[in-house]
Amino acid sequence: MTTVTDSRRAPQFVLRHRLVLSREEAEMDQAALGDALGISRQTVSNYERGMTQPKRHVLIAWAMATGVDLDWLTTGTEKPHQDGPDGASRGLLPGLDSNQEPAG
């Protein structure tokens, strides 16, 4: 008797795949993203091909430039958004006080 097993599997998206997906979803080419990040198109290509690993500050800038969640970009999962008292979602940067005068 032969046992049939299900050999289908879901592909695993590693960092380099998420880098490409985020850039493409932002409708940016490698040169435009490189300009936005202050790096060369070749460096963007190297990150996307997995030739080199971007440092944390590059990942933060990449997430901001492409509008994706930093946790998703780095790990493939998203954390639930924490809404502030005004209902605004808290992102990577803290909210700015509208009063630009120093507290005294």
Is the pLDDT at 14 greater than 70? The verdict is yes
Q: What domain count does the chain have? A: 1
Q: Which domain holds residue 23?
A: 15-75
| Contacts with 40 (C-beta within 8 Å, 6 or more apart), sequence order | 34
Give the pLDDT of residue 87: 46
Asked which of 22-36, 44-58, 82-96 is least confident by mean pLDDT, the reply is 82-96
**Could you identify the residue written with the tokens 């460096």?**
43
Q: Is residue 22 part of a domain?
A: yes
Q: Is residue 29 part of a domain?
A: yes
Query: How many CB atoms lie under 10 A from the CB of residue 38?
Result: 9
Q: Rounded mean pLDDT of 35-44? A: 98
Q: Is residue 63 part of a domain?
A: yes
CATH number at residue 42: 1.10.260.40
Running DSSP on this structure, what letter comes out for residue 50? Answer: T
Which comes out higher in pLDDT, residue 78 or 104?
Answer: 78
* pLDDT tens figures, 66-76: 999 999 999 99
Q: Is residue 25 part of a domain?
A: yes
Greatest alpha-carbon pair distance for the chain in Å reads: 83
**Could you identify the residue written with the tokens 């940016």?**
28
Which comes out higher in pLDDT, residue 12 or 99?
Answer: 12
Both tokens assigned to 23: 């850039």
